[in-house]
Amino acid sequence: MIQHDTARHAADSSAADRSTAVILNIGKSMNRHHSRLPLATTVWIVATLTPWMAAQSSSLKPIVIRAEKAWLEPGKSLERARFTIRGDAISEVDQFEKGSKAGSDVISGAVLTAGFIDLHNQLGPTNELAEKVESFTPELRADQAYDPFDARWKRVLAQGITSLIYAPSNTSIAGGQAILLRPGLKPEKDAPATYVKFSLTREAQSTYKRPTSLVGAVDYLRESYRNLRSRTPRNLGAAELILATTVGGNSSVGIACNRPEEIQAALELSKEQNLDSFLILGDATGQFDPRILDDVLPTLAKEGKRLLLPALGSKSSQRAQALPAQLAKQGIPFAFSAASDRNNGINKCQWTMAMAMRSGLSADKALAALTTTPASWAKISDKAGSLYKDRQADLCLWSGEPWDLRSRLLLVVRAGKIVCDARPEKDTPMKDSPTGESHR
């Protein structure tokens, strides 16, 4: 299944597949020379080393992953798929020969999907994700509070989430900008904001600072937009500059709301200020009562508003389970968010897909709600959410279909590196597959 071999063509030959090799990191051992060299010497070194380095980089060890089936995108699969990964991108997608011995390196029934994308992640210390003295702080960036060395990112990766949008908490009415991150990797410098986070939940209402109520929260936001319009562009402060980007839908707004009146207020505000907004449902623990949507579903369908639903769990009500299918039927766009790291040993993404499908959601829609839909909302469809050539190498290998609760997540590749490996026996041929025994 996995090869770290130099020669990619050897992928089909079963014996070579089992060998392992280390991916070279050329830059790792290079030391900095602080002494100044004469120009001629420098030119000679560069001229000599450049072809050597080019040769080394061209022979970078690729990772080849083969699976019996791969979901290139929801609704589009490729049988006997072979993915070649060079660096952090998928360099080649093709099919391996039918006759090759499946038992040698392909786990029978293994299915490959794109890495999942979580549009609203707040893992980490909650008190770091909101300013406590002021509730209106759109100028703040969530990635400033991000700790790539937090051990909990492993749990996030183990659910198959390879990209996430790190968002400010719900305790500020305009907490700041949500930034695209890769769990466990250092953030890109000056990465653009995916959306500006608003919150109309009770968590944003304080006893010691404005606002103290929902009406006050809505009034605060309205007042901010009024002030914005009354100022000339030169006089805008940092907060207003960010707020200005949300007017007219230039940048998205995610509005957290968890009660019927909060949803009504969010819709009203979006309409008034002409915001390109989506509603983030569920509180910090992912609790959510779907009955709150009963009155607004026709409005949501009419206005094409988007919903970000919390992950479904074992305690989710029947109504909560049936909601995704209902939304799909009415044509309301939605995506799932894993919401928290408290997975209790359960893969929340898989569980969510399974429970939503149990209530009538199609497999394509369920998979799309974790891959292509969040990718398009985050405007990264050209990089993530699907498995095509030149896309980011974010892949999940499952022992069966990802929405089947009997399947296990065997392997997670994030940015071309294996970050989670739960194969029964790593890099060795499966003993049970050729004999027909299940590895599950």
Judged by CB under 8 A, does residue 272 bind other proteins?
Answer: no
Residue 28 in tokens:
């790792």
Q: Which stretch binds other proteins (CB under 8 A): 33-41, 234-242, 263-271, 397-405?
A: 263-271
Judged by CB under 8 A, does residue 271 bind other proteins?
Answer: no
Minimum separation from the CB atom of position 315 to other proteins (A): 17
Which string of x and - marks every residue 223-242 that binds other proteins (by CB under 8 A)? ---xx--x------------
Judged by CB under 8 A, does residue 87 bind other proteins?
Answer: no
Minimum separation from the CB atom of position 262 to other proteins (A): 9
- Residue 375 C-beta-side C-alpha neighbours within 13 Å: 24
Judged by CB under 8 A, does residue 249 bind other proteins?
Answer: no
Q: Which of 79, 268, 272, 390 binds other proteins (CB under 8 A)?
A: 268
Judged by CB under 8 A, does residue 259 bind other proteins?
Answer: yes
179 to 218, contacts with other proteins by CB under 8 A?
208-216, 218
* Residue carrying structure tokens 């009146």: 261
Minimum separation from the CB atom of position 210 to other proteins (A): 4
Question: Residue 252: enclosing H or E segment and its boundaries?
Answer: strand 252-257
How many C-beta neighbours within 10 Å does residue 283 have?
16
Residue 397 in tokens:
């290998």
Contact partners, residue 97, CB within 8 Å, separation at least 6: 12, 80
Minimum separation from the CB atom of position 216 to other proteins (A): 3
Judged by CB under 8 A, does residue 41 bind other proteins?
Answer: no
Phi, psi of 334 (to 5 degrees): -150, 160
Give the DSSP per-residue string, 380-431: -TTTSSS--TTSB--EEEESS-TT-TT--EEEEEETTEEEEE--SSTTS--S
Residues linked to residue 3 through DSSP beta bridges, in sequence order? 64
Judged by CB under 8 A, does residue 58 bind other proteins?
Answer: no
Judged by CB under 8 A, does residue 358 bind other proteins?
Answer: no
Crossing angle of helices 260-273 and 214-230, in 10° steps, is 10
Q: Which of 24, 72, 158, 292 binds other proteins (CB under 8 A)?
A: 292
Residues in contact with other proteins by CB under 8 A are 208-216, 218-219, 226-227, 230, 259-261, 264-265, 268, 291-292, 294-296, 298-299
